[in-house]
Chains A and B, each alone.
Chain A
Amino acid sequence: MSEPPQPCITTRGLNLWYADFQALFDVNLDITRGLITSLIGPSGCGKTTLLRCFNRVNERYGYVTTTGEIRILGKNIYDPDVALVELRKSVGMVFQRPNPLPISVYENVVFGLRIHHPPGTFTRAELDEAVEKALIEVGLWKDLRDRLDRKATSLQLEQQQKLCIARLLPLKPDVILMDEPCSALDVEGTRAIEELMFALKGHYTILVVTHNMAQARRASDECIFMLLGKLIEHSRTEDLFLNPKNPKTAEYIEGRYG
């Protein structure tokens, strides 16, 4: 209570170019640890781009240039001693379309453990335990405990998405990035994922992109509004929706409701 909340992700003067098209302009951001922060804004404003900066996936395109600073838990992720592989281990990503690997449920969950440790590091029992723990955490254990050898791609979409979240957990990530995690799901599925986000809150810092204003309002503690690559407003969700400080924010949320 007395301690001020600790920022988990900080950016200072972050600019990003796709070749000569600038997609992010001078973004300064402090994302509070352990909270759910939602990222809203019209299509093409750079939400996905910003999200992908945090685990440095953007670099895969050879033509991306980034300037400025991104710190995660105080560490500048562009420092030369940062190993990409370790960074991605602690900053997990969930996609718009669930993308479980075409292997069994069990193997999906332990995939991260397997690739980050030499073969034979874990006993079968340890792996079993990791699977059980992760699936309990995302609420799939009851449904899938007897079907762990089923192919993950044959599950329902909602289960697939939960499995994609479960896949991150054995690696004990600090941050979970979600890019419109519910847009492929129906109302039921959306609610299930939102509940899951609540359950995970506190243990992980969650950053979620959404086009669904109501979802941002329901499911997040803080909210960031972006427009044309710039960060317009960042405040507690209630404040942003009830008393937007910036007229552009007001326009956007009213436009969407009106």
Chain B
Amino acid sequence: MFAETPFVRSKRRSEAFAKWLFFAMSAAMVLPLLLIVGYLFVKAAPSLNINFLLDVPRRGMTQGGIWPAFVGTVYLVFISLAISAPVGILAAVYLNEYARDNWLNRMINLAVINLAGVPSIVHALFGLGAFVYAARLGYSILSASLTLAIMTLPVIIASTREALASVPMSFREACWNVGATRWQTIRAVVLPNSISGILTGVILQVSRAAGETAPIMFTGAVFFKAVQKGEVFAYHLNEQCMALSMHLYTISTQVPGVKESIPFATAVVLLASVLLVNAAAITLRALMRSRKKW
């Protein structure tokens, strides 16, 4: 009774095989990450200290630190998100809460989706034409930030819409049925219950904005800019700036005789800042989610 037939045995074997195969594939995802991070750290170790972060590049960028590039990246990321987050969030609120299903809104939707798929080098060219030349902003932090903003905008719209859509429809109906306008509904119920998702979506764009090279190279990043060691307000909006991603490219490929550990340490700083920000986003989301319950 209940004994295993040959057919059952073969099924059990293929089941076990499938499970191991799938596990191996997902484990294979983790391995490269660990290897990359480990390799970076080992190679970067000789240069990794606080002075590396705060110091300026010296001796034709072959020695010293990365402060100007670090500050430049912070400027670019912060300004670009300060532009794209409000615009993106408001647009997403319109699309999710107000827009009816008509051709105009379908067009807008289509544009947003397609904009998200545009390669960054194309954004770079667009930024060059639109901001640097047409808008006469020149090669500047402002042009570069606007270009990055255009690039992150569609993703922010998409993630915000997702956060808004996760608020149950019944809450909105409850409001409408006591006579609340859409805006009152949005302010009283929709935004308070989606704000954590919205913020997370915005913060996750930090890593994209910080990592892109092409868009800023075309519009406002330079190889070198003289800045005081540790100076926070190092740039004006209408000047060009250095940036980590661009600096990494420069010292790895353009400058001979760079101390070996410096490019790796630069990469570690870039990676660590991005991971730190992402971790903050995840913590924020977890905190806010634990407070809401329905």
Q: List A residues at the B interface (Cβ < 8 Å).
A: 55, 57, 60, 62, 84-89, 92-93, 95, 97, 99-102, 111-112, 115-116, 151, 153-154, 164, 167-168, 171
Most B C-beta atoms less than 10 A away, residue of A86, A97, A99, A116: A99
Would you give 5 A-B contacts (Cβ < 8 Å), ordered by A? A57-B176, A99-B173, A100-B174, A116-B179, A151-B293
A167: chain B residues within 8 A (beta carbon): 174, 178
Does residue B193 face the partner (Cβ distance < 8 Å to A)?
yes
13 A-B pairs besides A62-B100, A84-B179, A102-B292 with CB distance below 8 A are A55-B177, A57-B177, A85-B180, A85-B181, A87-B179, A93-B177, A101-B175, A112-B178, A112-B179, A115-B179, A115-B184, A115-B188, A153-B293
Complex contact A99–B174 (CB within 8 A): yes
Majority-rule SS of A interface residues? helix
Complex contact B293–A89 (CB within 8 A): no
Does residue B5 face the partner (Cβ distance < 8 Å to A)?
no
- CB contact under 8 A between A95 and B170, given known A102-B193, A102-B294, A115-B188: yes
> CA separation between A102 and B174, bound complex, in Å?
11
> CA separation between A55 and B179, bound complex, in Å?
9
Complex contact B170–A62 (CB within 8 A): no
Does residue B171 face the partner (Cβ distance < 8 Å to A)?
yes
Chain A residue at minimum C-beta to C-beta distance from B177: A93
Complex contact A86–B179 (CB within 8 A): yes
Q: List B residues at the A interface (Cβ < 8 Å).
A: 100-102, 170-171, 173-181, 184, 188-189, 193, 292-294
Report the minimal beta-carbon distance from B177 to chain A, rounded to whole angstroms: 4
A171: chain B residues within 8 A (beta carbon): 178-179
A153: chain B residues within 8 A (beta carbon): 293-294
Report the minimal beta-carbon distance from A108 to chain B, rounded to whole angstroms: 9
Report the minimal beta-carbon distance from A77 to chain B, rounded to whole angstroms: 13
A164: chain B residues within 8 A (beta carbon): 174
Report the minimal beta-carbon distance from B293 to chain A, rounded to whole angstroms: 6
Report the minimal beta-carbon distance from A162 to chain B, rounded to whole angstroms: 14
Chain A residue at minimum C-beta to C-beta distance from B181: A85
B193: chain A residues within 8 A (beta carbon): 102
B181: chain A residues within 8 A (beta carbon): 85, 115
A57: chain B residues within 8 A (beta carbon): 173, 176-177
A88: chain B residues within 8 A (beta carbon): 176-179
A84: chain B residues within 8 A (beta carbon): 179
B102: chain A residues within 8 A (beta carbon): 62
> CA separation between A164 and B173, bound complex, in Å?
12
> CA separation between A154 and B175, bound complex, in Å?
19
A87: chain B residues within 8 A (beta carbon): 179
Report the minimal beta-carbon distance from B157 to chain A, rounded to whole angstroms: 22
> CA separation between A102 and B100, bound complex, in Å?
26
Report the minimal beta-carbon distance from B104 to chain A, rounded to whole angstroms: 13
> CA separation between A97 and B177, bound complex, in Å?
14
Complex contact B184–A101 (CB within 8 A): no
> CA separation between A68 and B49, bound complex, in Å?
79
Complex contact B171–A102 (CB within 8 A): yes
> CA separation between A99 and B174, bound complex, in Å?
6
Chain B residue at minimum C-beta to C-beta distance from A170: B178
B170: chain A residues within 8 A (beta carbon): 95, 97, 99
A99: chain B residues within 8 A (beta carbon): 170-171, 173-174
Report the minimal beta-carbon distance from A39 to chain B, rounded to whole angstroms: 18
Q: Which listed residue (A60, A89, A95, A97) contacts B179, Cβ 8 A?
A: A89
Complex contact B171–A101 (CB within 8 A): yes
A85: chain B residues within 8 A (beta carbon): 179-181
Complex contact B179–A154 (CB within 8 A): no
Q: Which listed residue (A62, A92, A95, A102) contacts B178, Cβ 8 A?
A: A92
Query: What 9 pairs across the A-B complex have the smallest Cβ distances?
Result: A88-B179, A99-B170, A93-B177, A85-B179, A112-B178, A153-B294, A89-B179, A99-B174, A115-B180
> CA separation between A115 and B101, bound complex, in Å?
28
Report the minimal beta-carbon distance from B95 to chain A, rounded to whole angstroms: 15
> CA separation between A85 and B178, bound complex, in Å?
8
Report the minimal beta-carbon distance from A103 to chain B, rounded to whole angstroms: 8
Chain B residue at minimum C-beta to C-beta distance from A97: B170
> CA separation between A102 and B294, bound complex, in Å?
7
> CA separation between A62 and B173, bound complex, in Å?
16
Complex contact A101–B174 (CB within 8 A): yes
Report the minimal beta-carbon distance from B233 to chain A, rounded to whole angstroms: 39
Report the minimal beta-carbon distance from A65 to chain B, rounded to whole angstroms: 15
Complex contact B292–A89 (CB within 8 A): no
- CB contact under 8 A between A111 and B178, given known A95-B170, A101-B189: yes
A89: chain B residues within 8 A (beta carbon): 178-179
Complex contact A92–B177 (CB within 8 A): yes
B179: chain A residues within 8 A (beta carbon): 84-89, 112, 115-116, 171
A100: chain B residues within 8 A (beta carbon): 174
> CA separation between A99 and B170, bound complex, in Å?
6
> CA separation between A88 and B170, bound complex, in Å?
16
